Structure formats: structure tokens, C-alpha cells
Amino acid sequence: MKKKEGAISWIVEMCRQQRSLPFAAKASVCEILWAVLPGIIACLAILHPLFFSAGEFIYLDWSGTSIDMTPFTNFMDVYGQDGAGFRWIPFLLPQLPFVLLLGQGASAMFSRIFFLFIFILGSTGLFMFFREKPRAIYLLSAAIMFFSPFVYERIMMGQFLMVLSLASLPITLYFAKKFLATPALSSAWQPVLCLTLLNLQIQGLVMNALLVGGYFALHALFCTRREKLAIPYMQFAAMFLLFNAYWIAPYFALPKPALLSSIDPSHAEFFTPKASIGMNTLFKSAAMYGSWRESSMKLAYNYPPADFIPKEVWRWAAIAFVAVLMCLSAFAVLQNPKNPLHLALAFGWIAGVLVATGISHPWTGWAFDWLFQNVQFFVGFRDSNKWAELVVCAYALLAPAGAHMLAGKRKLGWILPALLIVFAIACNYVAIGLAGQLMPGTYPQEYMEISLLAAQNGTTIYLPWSVYNSYTWSLAFGLDGRIANPAGKFGQGKIQMGVSPLDFSSTMLSSENYTKCLAAQSIPCLKNEGVSRIIVDRCFLGNGIYGWVAANRTALKSSGCLSVYNTGG
């Protein structure tokens, strides 16, 4: 107890004296606490069921991280088959010490630390942006970002890397602003490093790079001596290419990801936002939500926190809050119409709303369809709602700035920001604890050993032949229990998986011949295609559709949920 009291007293004294820490000479202890604590508090508020229970987050696109040395010792087999896999190197390297020390427990521990890192990164970037403003303005920006419907929906789909992409934007823009203040090679490495290490998804990198590029272009437009920017801009671009050479070179040298080449217009239709609860998709994009899986989760604007609040009242209150964010953001831009950063964020908001809406609205559908058909990399944005990231970033940086300007003019002090903080959290209250919809869990042991079931010669396939499935044991994770194929995580690249129309509304990838054999329920056909072993998952909800395998072959081995069959006689 005395040690605890001594630590608290030390912190209070350091804050009182505005003392600095050795590793952060330009920031006091209080500033560091202000920078990180809101992120930690927001993370625990949203994800506390996953932090204070056994197991780990397993749902849809998040299946945990590495639990053995396979991704490191067999990198080319697991990730290096196409150029896009090399982008995972910055994400893999921090996992190595956890794997060496904790083995199968590495994923649960590293995931928790990674989730905290995302939120701390976001709050730190916002703090640096609003460091000179009242703390209430900074807290408002954090509330808008972390409790946005976009963050909630992406977490509910296991897309933590999209949340990381959003969280990295404030600090990236802050360093970009510093670079433009003193454009030189010595100040370019910070924003470049942020773009390199913090955007693990190509989509996030493209959006963030476009926003930063737009900021640079607008700065040059308003700069009186823009000729002096040419060399620093070229140095910035050269440094970006140098820092990203580890994945850019393989991306162009190796085959393109099979998934990208197989995306067709049916994917855009499958992932497009849907109108609901009396709102069209254009407004839903401006309101920061509209995920293609919204029907599988509770919506903040559709579920009031108590029975005594009518749904219509709750919905219109939430709509009014979004309207306030729009007005405050517009006010911030109009107060200084030649501020290149504010203009870049405003243009980002417009692009985010229009592209996020995609083909779901006649005003935007024609443009999105043209981009989808004619711009090669744009097919990666089949889930158009990912562009709502730019909408959230615009609100998080512009609305607090507008609130600060307005509060100063009206002498409202901290009252206006405080009210908006309450509304920001209340309007998306279901994000707190994810409304109990998802719970931590673990994989059964037999899946962790599935690579041992692969054949020494020939191909081994895993049934169900799809990317996302629900299992009897995964239902305990919440909602429909839909998770990514466990064979992808534990198969060590030895087991062939497939894609079904239920995954992306299209049958695709190089396994088309396997798909024909499976449709014909023909084991000899699979054998002719080089398949020597079939693993059938009996815990898959819908396993009866693969009963023909057991009817034609005797199981070589059965372990828990998994049965193994040879295609030979």
C-alpha cells in the first residue's frame, strides 16, 4: 500500500512541477498521462469483456495472431506466395518475442496489447493535435473517434486493422503538418514512418496517403513560395518509396493476390451499404456507419438504452448530433477557408461520404461503378464503407476545432464540449462492452494440431469449402459465431481452403476445379485433381452437406471435430 501511495504521490508531484521523463524530454508527466489515459479508458470501456476474461477475441476477420514459429520460419510458404504478403512484416516482428516466451498463449496476450496500442496511438495523435487547446476539446475529439459507429462496426467484424488505420491518421497528419512547417529531409521521416508502419492494410494506406497528398497539394496551392517545396516533396516521396521498398518490390515482382484478380461486380453488390431505419445510405455514410453486416449486430441509432425512450425520439436525437458535427466542422473550415489542413479534411469528408455510399445510391453509384471497372487497385474497395474512415477523421479533428471557436465566441467554455462528449458516447452506447454481443473464446485443441493431419504427398483440402463458417463451439463467441476458417490460422500453409458464394457472393480463386468436384460430390474427381486427403469438420453448422464423403470412404482418423479421409480406395 505504501508503495502504491508513493507512486501516486510521485506522479502528482511530477505533474505539479511539470517535470519531464527521460524518454520524453519535451512532454511533462501530466501531458503523457493526458495523451495515453483517454485511449486506455476508451479501449477498456469498449473491449472490457475481452480484457477481463479468459480466452481471446475471435470473430470474423480477427482470428488472433501467431502462436508458433511457422510464420517466421516458413514466411514464404505462409505469406510470401504473392507480393501483398510482405506488408505483414511490421505486424509479425513484434509478435516474435511473445511467441518465443508464451507459445500458444502468445496470441491472447499480444492481441490485448495490440488493441491497447491502437487506442493509445489514436489518443496520442489527437492530444498532439489539440495540445494547445483546452483539454475538453481534446477529450471531445477522442470521444468522437473512439465511440464512432465506424469503430464499433469494424470491431464487430474483427477488422482491428481498419481501426488502426483510422487511429494512425491524427498522428500522421500532425507530423505532416510539422514537415510542412519546416520542409526538409530531417522532418520527413516521421510522417513517412507513420504511413509505412501503421497502415497494414492496402486500403488504409491508399486512403491515408491520398489525404496526406491532398494536404500537401493544398499547402502548395496557398504557399507564396511554392517553388521551395519541390525538393522537400521529392525527398518525401523518395523516402516513402525507400521505407516501403520491402513490400513494393515484391508486390510488382511476384504474382498479384489471387483474391484481387477474382473480384467481380457481384462483390460490390454484396458489400454495399443498405438503407435502413428510415435513412438512405448517403446520410448513413455521413453518420459514420452503414457496414454491410449491420443486420447482424445492434445499431446505435436503432436501439435506445431504455424502454422509456421511444425509438423515434432516440433516432432523431442521434441524427441531430450528426447534424451538429457537420455544422461545427463546416464552421471550423469557414472560419479559416485558406487553412490547407482543414480544407484537406473537408475534401476527405466529401470523398469519404461519396465513395463509402458506393453503388447503393444513384447519386454515387455511377462514379463508383466506373472506378471499380477501370481503376485496377480500386477493386480492393469492394467494401466501400471503409471510406467512412475519412468521415470520422474529419469530424474528430474539425468538429472540436469548431466547438472551440464557437465556445470562445459565445463564452461557453467547457460546457459545449462537455455536452457533446456526453452525446458522442450516448449516441453509440452499444459500443460500451460491445453491448455484450461478443465474448472471448479459444479454439479446440484439435484445430491447433490440424497441420499434422495434412498428407505428405498431394493436396489436402478442408471442408467446409468456405472462408467464414459457424461452428457448434464458436456460437459461444456471440451472435452467429461466424469466424474465419481455422485451417487458415493453424494449417501452416499445408491445407487448401476454398471460397463459397456465401462468403463474397461469388465462387472464385484457383480452386475452381475443386469446386466442380465438390458440387458433383465426386471423390474420384478430387483425386484426379491431385487431392489425396480430405479433412471434414463435423462441428461445422451444416456439416450434413458433406455426408457424402463419409458415405464413400472410411475415416482414416477422427479427432474431436475433425475426420480425415484419403481419396484413394
552 vs 47, 413, 522, 546, 547, CA distance in Å?
46, 76, 9, 11, 9
Give the 3-state secondary structure of residue 350: helix
Rounded CA gap, 204 and 555, in Å? Answer: 45
pTM of the model: 0.91
Which of 511, 519, 512, 553 has the alpha carbon at shortest distance from 534? 553
Residue 40: predicted pLDDT: 97
- DSSP assignment, residue 45? H
3-state SS track over 310-356: CHHHHHHHHHHHHHHHHHHHHHHHHHCCCCHHHHHHHHHHHHHHHHH
CB-facing half-sphere around the CA of 325: CA atoms within 13 A: 29
Q: Which of 391, 419, 480 is CA-nearest to residue 150?
A: 391
Q: What is the pLDDT of residue 505?
A: 53
Distance between CA atoms of 402 and 342, rounded to whole angstroms?
11
CA-to-CA distance for 18 and 27, rounded, in angstroms?
9
- What integer pLDDT is reported at residue 510 of this predicted model? 47
Q: What is the DSSP letter of 256?
A: P
156 bridge partner residues: none
Q: What is the distance between the alpha carbons of residues 314 and 301, in angstroms, rounded to a whole number?
A: 7
Q: Which of 63, 29, 57 is nearest to 43 (CA)?
A: 57
Evaluate whether 435 touches 149 at the Cβ level (below 8 Å).
no
Positive or negative: CA dihedral 333, 334, 337, 339 = negative
Q: What does each of the 569 residues of the chain score in pLDDT, given as a tens digit?
A: 555 555 556 555 656 555 555 445 466 788 899 999 999 999 999 999 999 888 999 999 999 998 888 888 888 877 777 767 888 889 999 999 999 999 888 999 999 999 999 999 999 999 999 999 999 999 999 999 999 999 999 999 999 999 999 999 999 999 999 999 998 888 999 999 999 887 788 888 899 999 999 999 999 998 867 778 889 999 999 999 999 998 888 888 877 666 666 676 777 777 888 877 667 888 989 999 888 888 777 766 667 777 778 878 888 888 899 999 999 999 999 998 999 999 999 999 999 999 999 888 888 888 888 888 887 777 778 888 999 999 999 999 999 999 998 877 666 667 888 889 998 998 888 899 998 899 999 999 999 989 889 988 889 999 999 889 999 999 999 888 999 999 988 887 788 888 776 666 554 444 667 888 998 999 999 999 999 999 999 999 987 889 999 999 999 999 889 999 999 86
| Residue-level pLDDT at 257 | 64
CA proximity to 277, closest of 304, 299, 308: 299
Phi, psi of 445 (to 5 degrees): -60, -35
Question: How many angstroms separate the CA atoms of 156 and 297, rounded?
Answer: 8
Tell me the CB-side half-sphere exposure of residue 32, using CA atoms within 13 A: 16
Residues found in the chain:
569
Query: Helix, strand, coil shares of the chain as percentages rounded to 5?
Result: 65, 10, 25
H/E stretch holding 141: helix 135-146
User: What's the CA gap between 167 and 151, in Å, rounded?
Assistant: 10
Angle, in degrees to the nearest 10, between helices 388-410 and 106-129: 40
Q: How far is CA 212 from the centre of its chain?
A: 19
